[in-house]
Structure 1
Amino acid sequence: MRKPGRWLAVVGFFLWMVWKITLPVGWLEFSIGFSLFVLLPLLLEEAVQKPHANKAEQWLWQCLVCLFPFAVSGVLSLSLPPGWEGVGWGGLWFIYTILIAVGGCWRIRFRNVVQVEEVSIDVGFLYLAVGGLFLFLSRFPIGGFGPFSDRELTILALFFHGVAFLLALVTGFFGRYRMRSGGADPLAVDWPYRVLVGATLISPLIVFFSLWYGREAIIFSVVLFPLLIAWMCLWWFWLSVEFKPWVQTAMILSVLMGASIIGGAFWRGWSLGRLSSVGMIALIPPYGFFSALLFSWLIVFAWRGVEKSRRLLTPGQLKKE
């Protein structure tokens, strides 16, 4: 099958809707299920592109082909209350995310040079494993781990599945597009894009560690991510004139949805006085989750439609397998 990610996403979308209709799952779990069933196969397929380029790519391609049963196990764990059965299903999903993280590390090791856009994609795979860990921990029937309750662990699972992982890969796709005419030099990367990659990859860590350092640190992290999304959206909007009409439309819509998410989250947070708590994410009403899901799908849909083949490396720039 040449495009397994596309077909897995189509089937996954149908099952995702059936899951919501037949089982009483909350919007938080529903959003994670969207990442597992729809976004992950599309992003993983786009990241690999050529499954036979090297053993690392072959590994990730096999992970893509085997995605479906593991995604179902992750969704089953979210469908159950915290308990040992949920731990078992969540553990299977965590193992799968570790396999993808191994593929990302393998890709980094395979290159003798640093391709910033590819590093962004590989780090995104690592963030997916972090999300898998939080989903796994949220299923234990012990009321949470450390300072985090079950609910907060689930929020962190959503953050690393649907935000950190997604933005890292999309930033890498954006870099492939910008570097497509940059010549054979794999280090020829403009500094604004380097700054964007650095901010995208560091921001999830800032958000996570700020949870231990009080109100000011949390507010800083809450402000940082909307600014990062705004920067991305403005940059994409500026470049959208170069895209095909349907891609341009999707890009502009994603910019508008991104703006609505930023405005809605801040308004909700300030009006309730809960910007100082990780629980503010759970306070966003259903329309907020809907906006986030639509934004995620639009940017994945748009960047899959942009011509962005990766830069080729010479034999001397690759390590022997």
Structure 2
Amino acid sequence: MNPLWGLARIKSGDRMKMQKLGALSMTVRLNLLLGLCIGLTWTFLTAPSIIELALVLAFFILVPVLLSLVATSNPKSVYRINILTAARWSFPFAAAGMLSLSMETGWLAASAAAVWLLFTMAAAGNGIFRLLNRGIGQPEEAVIDAGLAFLAVGGVWLVLARSGAAELMPYSSLTIDLTAIHYHYSAFVLPIFTGMFGRWLFGYNTQACEVLRRRRAFTILAAGLAGGSPLVALGILHGPPFDLITSGVYIVFIYWLCLWVLASVLRIGYAAGPLAGIASLILMTTMGVSTLYSLGMYFETAVVTMDGMLRWHGALNAFGFSVLGTLAWLIARPKPRYDEKAFPVSRVRTRGSTGDGNVRKRGREEHSEQGTGLIADWNLLKGDDFDSEKINTVIRDFYVHTEYYDLTAEISWKIELIGRAARFFTKGAGQIHLPLSGLEVLEGSILNVPDQEDRCRDLRAWIRSDSSTGEPVFNAFYSTHRTRETGYFNIGLPLHRGIITRILRPENKPGGGLGLTSRKKPEMSGDEGIYLTVGRMTIKLPLEETFELTHIGGNLNAVHEIALFGWSILRITCEITKEEADEEL
């Protein structure tokens, strides 16, 4: 065999991949080229106003370019793939938006604007679902999703502007036009500019302590910029003094961002850094003009006129900050810390109670067999940050021979009202049905589910019930999966037409102990979390779970905690003992 053949195959595969990416990029470029040609022709023929020109620039150039940056050139998650598709096919929708600006206000112009609105709603929907699927743990991605969501608000205001709705609203037509501009620029371009800077910031230094320090500051900044934009829009609508207050708060966060970018110019890159820096200086200038205008309105002194606002604030933001800022990140192309490719979610569902009988039925009992443990091999969980060989042998045995162990659980709800509400909803479901407090002896069995029946590999059902009443307590489907050299416990709790999936990362604890956590590492680059799947939609729940198992005095002791929005709501302490009969064997 020719030793160069394998190398040739690799190079050929790389060429095919590059050709595929090149074709994909060319589609985005072609979309932009068509938009640029049509936009320039329209500008030459119609002599548009600054507002109309800024909107057309957003329709044809800024929106598709920024969408392609959000999606990256090789997205893996369904939402980023959808966003990239939108970037490639935005031209006909943008053309409809441009056409609406060329018509007299009325139902026909509003209908054309509604076509652009449909596009913005699709982009916003993917941003919202991306946020729900991932959660807010990555502030740079969350602020991008906020920008995508606000784009649809801009589409709504465009329809209102082109329909002539000013006659029916307590606002002037200019105010409605400016609000449409605001949500296409300040509420869309700026959050994505911020998110791109965040991607670069967290990618520049990946040390955990540095990432954690930056994340705290950047989270506050991102929240201020995402929340400040709609507040400013309200200020525009309501006028002084409310607009002065909202603008003042917003400007503080904008200056913070700009100064942070300026301090990072040399590290961002040779071309991208200076462009981002110039864009930041322009933004600081235009926000200064905005402040003078608001002060003039409040004190009834024309420091800056409306014409000056349009020229120095609107035009410079649109054609200066937005264009240069977008170009900067188009050159730098910062990558996200983690591509939220879907982890495997079990197909097991139930249409009623998830009691013993139903779980066995949904587990295809006729094709299943009685099992002994939750996992078959600890090597499935080995990774750079976890060494299964360091785990105590009794703990390792418990997970491999779970069937031979008895559990006694002491349950304590930190907030009784939540416990009562949980029992009310879980009684009929037969899932996560816990008493309010006290000891409970659990009995259970393990059922192996054939691989071909589910997305999850080597699936095992652990059926647990109250030994005294026989009521189902927990019925979970255990498996493991790996993402980027990290192994995870993948635990599914089937519900009525849905499933809760707990993705827990194993950790080594002192003395050979085992920790499992749904909390992400400081760099926020893992699958950890608690997720709810209904149909094809998966969202991340605001729950956190930690589990610590230790071997003390011949027995296993486990502490299991659940937190809601960071506040502990449930603590379960378990004593796990091996059955005597099995010990004699």
Per the shorter chain, which TM-score range?
A: 0.7 to 0.9
**Equivalent of residue 106 in structure 1, options 118, 126, 129:** 129
Deviation of 1:318 after TM superposition, in Å, equals: 8.9
CA deviation digits over 1:298-318, x for unaligned, max 9?
111112222521112434459
Alignment match, 2:231: 206
- Pairing 1:40-59 to 2, within 5 Å after superposition: 40-59=63-82
Larger gyration radius, structure 1 or structure 2: 2
Number of the residue aligned with 2:206 = 182
* Superposed counterparts of 1:238-317, under 5 Å: 238-267=263-292, 283-286=308-311, 288-292=313-317, 293-306=319-332, 308-312=334-338, 313-316=525-528
Partner amino acid, structure 2, of 1:34? L
Cα distance change, pair 209–286 in 1 and its aligned pair in 2 (3 A): closer
Q: d(CA) in 2 for partners of 1:138 and 1:261?
A: 24
Q: Deviations over 1:179-224 (max 9, x none)?
A: 1133689x94522211110110111121123356552211112333
Asked if the contact 1:112/1:318 (under 8 Å) is kept, the reply is: no
Distance 1:269 1:216 in 2: 8
Q: Deviations over 1:236-290 (max 9, x none)?
A: 110011132212221232133223323444455656779899x966652545444
Q: Is the 8 A contact 2:283 2:321 kept in 1?
A: yes
After superposition, give the CA deviation of every residue in 1:53-82 in whole Å (9 maximum; x if it has no partner): 121122222222220000011111112221
Partners of 1:152 and 1:214 in 2: how far apart?
10
Q: Does 1:154 align with 2:180?
A: no
1:117-132 matches, cutoff 5 A? 117-132=140-155
Distance in 1, Cα, partners of 2:331 & 2:39: 24
Over 3 Å counting, the alpha-carbon distance change for 1:131 and 1:243 in structure 2 is same
Residue from 92, 106, 112 that aligns with 1:69: 92
TM-score, normalised by the number of residues in structure 2: 0.50
For 2:96 and 2:328, the matched residues in 1 are separated by 29
Tell me, yes or no, if the aligned pair for 1:51 and 1:57 is still in contact at 8 Å: no
Matched AA of 1:299 = G
2:240/2:297 contact within 8 Å kept: no
Question: Aligned equivalents of 1:62 and 1:256: distance in 2?
Answer: 33
User: Which residue does the alignment assign to 1:11?
Assistant: 34
* Percentage identity across paired residues of the two chains: 22
Structure 2 CA distance, aligned partners of 1:49 and 1:115?
A: 17
| Alignment correspondent of 1:37 | 60
Structure 2: gaps spanning 5 or more residues: 1-22, 339-524, 537-585
**Is contact 1:6–1:41 with CA below 8 Å preserved after alignment?**
no
Paired residues, what number?
319
Which amino acid in the other structure matches residue 243 of structure 2?
I
Question: What amino acid is aligned across from residue 321 of structure 2 in structure 1?
Answer: F
Distance 1:151 1:307, change over 3 A: closer
How many angstroms apart in 2 are the aligned matches of 1:66 and 1:193?
33
Name the counterpart of 1:2.
Answer: 24
Structure 1, unpaired ranges of 5+: none
Instruction: Report Cα offsets for 1:118-152 as digits up to 9, x if no partner.
Output: 11111111100000000011111353443223321
Q: Is the contact between residue 150 and residue 188 of structure 2 (CA under 8 Å) also seen in structure 1?
A: yes
Are 1:137 and 1:145, in contact at CA under 8 Å, matched by a contact in 2? no
- TM-score for both structures, normalised by structure 1: 0.88
Distance in 2 separating the partners of 1:15 and 1:231: 38
Cα separation, partners in 2 of 1:13 and 1:287, compared to 1, 3 Å:
farther
| More strand, by proportion | 2
Q: Which amino acid aligns with 2:278?
A: L
Following superposition of structure 1 onto structure 2, how do residues 20-35 of structure 1 map, counting pairs within 5 Å?
20-35=43-58
Structure 1 or 2: larger helix share?
Answer: 1
Q: Distance in 1 between matches of 2:151 and 2:305?
A: 22
RCO higher in 1 or 2 (8 Å CA, sep ≥ 6)? 1
